[in-house]
A = this chain, B = another copy of it.
Amino acid sequence: MQKKGGLMSFRPDIKVVDCTLRDGGLVNNFEFSDEFVKALYKTNIKSGIDYMEFGYKASKEQFDVNKFGKWKFCNDDDIIEIVGDNDTDLKISVMADVGRTDFRNDIIDKANSPIDLVRVAAYINQIPAAIEMIEYCDKKGYETTVNIMAVSKSNDQDLDDALEILGRSCVGTIYIVDSYGSLYPEQMRRLADKYLAIADKYGKHIGVHAHNNQQLAFANTIDALTMGVSYLDSTVCSMGRGAGNCPTELLLSFLKNPKYHLSPILTFIEQHMLKLKEDGIIWGYDIPYLLTGRLNQHPRDAIQFTSEHRTDYKDFYHFLYDKEI
């Protein structure tokens, strides 16, 4: 495996993608106050973050707009209310799940939208549907990524095939997504190697989206980075589903590119994140997430266990284990 740069390198290809609203929205039903969102937007600008993901472009046919905060739907108007004409270096991203987005209705011409990047999330068997969406968004003028979810569950042949197909598509960036937080750094480096070979062959970028079930989200992110991965997802204080993500504050404290600044994030944590925790919003590394991560399972059982304030960890472990047999 080849490395790209050392600990002192300045890598101009790096892009930090703030997913606090999007992955964090999975924790609080996307119910962020406008004050919070505006403060995060300003913080991201000051910190030198490259992309801010506002949430999902979820289908209003499939999801009741009265049952979720607005960032599950990311109406262009709602984004404009926060960012105005966004005359900054910070680009705006949304995520669109394959099969859960009315992209032909809800994703309009880039020329009339505040959005810069559409990230298409797909399981590996949905790659053809993902490519349809990516081609649509590309033609509308957006940057695109494809986020192949739960890669720890894919077999090598399927993944090789998917990467070849994506390499030949118009997608800009292909993401390694450790949805279950089950990858060890050694496995992450191996995946990075595989994805980067496709990137080299077809002129793509590679991204990484990690989960913190085993306290490895930051380690996996910087290991992937060291290999040459350049799109780095993070959330403030790890806020995200289950065990959460790579913490922005750790990532910015690591990066050597002088465009990144840690202080604004520290202020944001003090002024806005502590209150979320006080209000009882729960996320972050804990024993139940370790166990689903270790067993390479979706975190839903751990989320349920945690929400019920259960602590019978050993029984829970055996319950999860029995599901594997």
Contacts and interface: CB of A to CB of B under 8 A. Distances in A.
Interface of A: 6-7, 184-187, 212, 214-220, 222-223, 226, 247, 249-250, 253-254, 262-263, 266-267, 269-270, 274, 287, 290-291, 294, 311-314, 317-318
Contacts of A291: 253
Given A216-B219, A222-B185, A223-B185, A266 B253 contact: no
Contact of A269 (B6, B270, B313): B313
22 contacts: A6-B186, A7-B186, A184-B222, A184-B254, A185-B185, A186-B226, A212-B215, A214-B218, A214-B250, A216-B218, A218-B219, A219-B219, A249-B290, A250-B290, A253-B294, A266-B287, A266-B314, A266-B317, A269-B287, A269-B313, A270-B312, A270-B313
Contacts of A223: 185
A-side interface mostly: helix
A185 B216 CA distance: 11
Nearest to A318: B263
B214 A215 contact: no
A187 B250 contact: no
Contacts of A254: 184, 214, 294
Nearest to A238: B215
A242 to B, nearest CB: 16
A226 B262 CA distance: 32
Among A186, A215, A290, A318, find the residue whose CB has the most chain B CB atoms closer than 10 A: A215
A317 B7 contact: no
Contacts of A311: 270, 274
A48 to B, nearest CB: 16
A262 B216 CA distance: 19
A187 B220 CA distance: 15
A226 B126 CA distance: 35
Nearest to A246: B215
A89 B201 CA distance: 54
A312 B249 CA distance: 15
A234 to B, nearest CB: 12
Please provide the 6 A-B residue pairs with the shortest distance between their CB atoms, ordered closest to farther: A219-B219, A266-B313, A266-B314, A253-B294, A267-B314, A215-B218
A42 to B, nearest CB: 15
B184 A270 contact: no
A64 to B, nearest CB: 37
A262 B320 CA distance: 14
A255 to B, nearest CB: 11
A7 B249 CA distance: 30
A214 B312 CA distance: 28
A7 B314 contact: no
Nearest to A223: B185
Nearest to A284: B285
A91 B301 CA distance: 37
A212 to B, nearest CB: 8
A226 B287 CA distance: 24
